């Protein structure tokens, strides 16, 4: 990214330009925070600063870890900062707590980082995603411990590292200098939970995530021509409202503004952030054409057969492991689902493999979370 285009980079000129643009748009809080004028929660006691970058997935993980720290150590004060807002994502339970402060974070210009550190006075900084370089350097200079979930920084070290994958763990060990590298575990698994019960009186649901709009017509014709359509619904999961609208339009059932689900003749399009968890109680099987860690873990948590297309498997570690069947495309998924319908015992076995994969990963993530909580308490 070009220095002037990066609103949270280390360039003072970019900081001034983006700040001016924010103020002209009335976004004064974001402009102030970018200069380091961040707010700490009221009260006394140790403060943990949880910071993340611009992606929605990282923000969801950061919010989950913040909530876990708050639940396990309620006397800690917590500041969660992010670089980009995501409309529709609002962790209400965190926002309601006096011990937690949510808001925009500072840019990586040294002046802004030093101001933020002076205002927050953190005993520990937890970075979900690669920390900005000046932040990592200034934390070392100030002797404030840094914990990182995800990729290693380009410079600097960390007191504790939580790699999401084996490749990240290897990168951290190769970089050297960090005090403790935890076993790899995807923190996104903490956002997935098994369904409380199964719905016996609702139509079974199959979930297909990431289908392109131009492929929807042929796929839905194949679905309607199968025996599956006589007894179940097909849900097409989209990653964004724009993608959902394109899919719905391809089915002849346009989404209206503000809707996150549309259903027509046994076909549904959903942009619900919960993904397959929205219908987990009646879910039969899930196929991912596009890589999405949260959708993958929620599918595995549901204990149903899970499959993924070849491109999705290349992009995402969780889709390459046990419990996920490799299929060429969504049409192969329909054929597999039809086979499982005729051989339900195979579906139960595939579902149990998926659930076991989820339980194992969650156990590793819970162990890493306890290590993080212990560090926060000791810092």
The vertex-136 CA angle with 12 and 101, nearest 5°, equals: 80
Residues of the chain with CATH 3.40.50.11720: 12-184
Q: What percent of the chain stands above pLDDT 70?
A: 93
Nearest to residue 64, comparing CAs of 87, 30, 89? 89
pLDDT band at 240 (very low <50, low <70, confident <90, very high): confident
pLDDT band at 264 (very low <50, low <70, confident <90, very high): low
pLDDT (average), residues 37-64: 92
Burial of 196 (0-12, 13-18, 19+ CB in 10 A): exposed
- For residue 326, count other CB atoms closer than 10 A to its CB: 13
Residue range 309-327, pLDDT digits in tens: 999 999 999 999 899 999 9
Residue range 340-375, pLDDT digits in tens: 999 999 999 999 999 999 999 999 999 999 999 999
Task: Give the span between the Cα atoms of 136 and 265, in whole angstroms.
Answer: 54
Instruction: Copy the structure tokens of residue 9.
Output: 């980079």
* Residue 257, pLDDT above cutoff 60: no
Nearest to residue 91, comparing CAs of 68, 133, 60? 60
The vertex-284 CA angle with 283 and 290, nearest 5°, equals: 80
Instruction: Copy the structure tokens of residue 168.
Output: 């990240």
Residue range 175-206, pLDDT digits in tens: 877 778 999 999 999 999 998 877 767 789 99
What is the CATH class of 191-362?
Answer: alpha beta
Instruction: Copy the structure tokens of residue 107.
Output: 């840019």
Residues of the chain with CATH 3.40.50.2000: 191-362
Residues 35 and 15: beta-carbon distance below 8 Å: yes
Task: Give the span between the Cα atoms of 201 and 234, in whole angstroms.
Answer: 17
Residue range 5-26, pLDDT digits in tens: 888 888 888 888 888 888 998 8
pLDDT (average), residues 290-294: 90
Between 116 and 240, whose confidence is greater? 116
Please indicate, yes or no, whether the overall pTM of this predicted structure exceeds 0.85: yes
Task: Give the span between the Cα atoms of 376 and 289, in whole angstroms.
Answer: 39
Which pLDDT does position 49 carry in this prediction? 98
* Residue 43, pLDDT above cutoff 50: yes
CATH fold, domain 12-184, is Rossmann fold (3.40.50)
Which pLDDT does position 368 carry in this prediction? 97
Report the sign of the C-alpha dihedral through residues 31, 36, 39, 41, in that order.
positive
* Residue 232, pLDDT above cutoff 60: yes
Order of strands, edge to edge, in the sheet holding 124-128?
100-104, 77-82, 47-52, 124-128, 146-149, 160-162
Which pLDDT does position 332 carry in this prediction? 97
Residue 327: helix, strand or coil by DSSP? coil
Which pLDDT does position 376 carry in this prediction? 93
CB contact set of 9 (below 8 Å; sequence gap of 6+): 1, 3, 107, 108, 109, 132
pLDDT (average), residues 75-104: 84
Which pLDDT does position 61 carry in this prediction? 93
State the chain's mean pLDDT as an integer. Answer: 89
* Residue 27, pLDDT above cutoff 60: yes
* Residue 154, pLDDT above cutoff 80: no
In sequence order, the β-bridge partners of residue 297 are: none
């Amino acid at each position: 990214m070009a220095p002037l285009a990066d609103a949270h980079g280390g360039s003072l000129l970019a900081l001034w330009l983006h700040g001016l643009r924010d103020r002209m748009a009335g976004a004064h809080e974001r402009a102030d925070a970018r200069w380091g004028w961040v707010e700490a929660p009221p009260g006394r006691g140790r403060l943990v600063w949880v910071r993340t970058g611009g992606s929605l997935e990282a923000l969801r993980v950061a919010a989950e870890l913040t909530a876990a720290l708050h639940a396990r150590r309620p006397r800690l004060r917590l500041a969660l900062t992010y670089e980009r807002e995501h409309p529709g994502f609002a962790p209400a339970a965190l926002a309601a707590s006096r011990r937690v402060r949510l808001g925009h974070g500072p840019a990586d210009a040294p002046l802004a980082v030093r101001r933020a550190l002076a205002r927050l006075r953190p005993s520990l900084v937890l970075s979900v995603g690669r920390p900005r370089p000046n932040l990592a350097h200034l934390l070392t200079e100030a002797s404030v411990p840094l914990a990182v979930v995800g990729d290693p920084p380009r410079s600097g070290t960390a007191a504790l590292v939580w790699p999401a994958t084996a490749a990240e763990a290897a990168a951290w060990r190769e970089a050297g200098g960090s005090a403790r590298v935890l076993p790899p575990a995807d923190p996104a698994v903490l956002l997935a939970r098994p369904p409380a019960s199964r719905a016996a009186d609702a139509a079974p649901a199959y979930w297909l995530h990431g289908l392109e709009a131009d492929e929807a017509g042929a796929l839905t014709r194949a679905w309607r021509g199968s025996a599956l359509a006589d007894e179940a619904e097909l849900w097409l999961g989209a990653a964004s409202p724009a993608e959902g609208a394109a899919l719905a339009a391809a089915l002849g059932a346009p989404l209206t503004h503000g809707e996150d689900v549309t259903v027509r003749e046994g076909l549904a399009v959903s942009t619900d952030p919960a993904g397959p968890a929205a219908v987990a109680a009646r879910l039969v099987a899930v196929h991912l054409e596009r890589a999405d860690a949260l959708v993958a873990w929620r599918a595995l948590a549901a204990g149903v057969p899970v499959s993924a297309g070849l491109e999705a498997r290349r992009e995402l570690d969780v889709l390459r492991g046990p419990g996920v069947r490799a299929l060429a495309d969504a049409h192969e998924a329909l054929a597999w689902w039809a086979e499982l319908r005729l051989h339900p015992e195979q579906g139960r076995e595939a579902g149990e493999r998926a659930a076991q994969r989820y339980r194992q990963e969650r156990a590793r993530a819970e162990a890493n979370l306890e290590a993080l909580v212990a560090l926060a308490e000791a810092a």
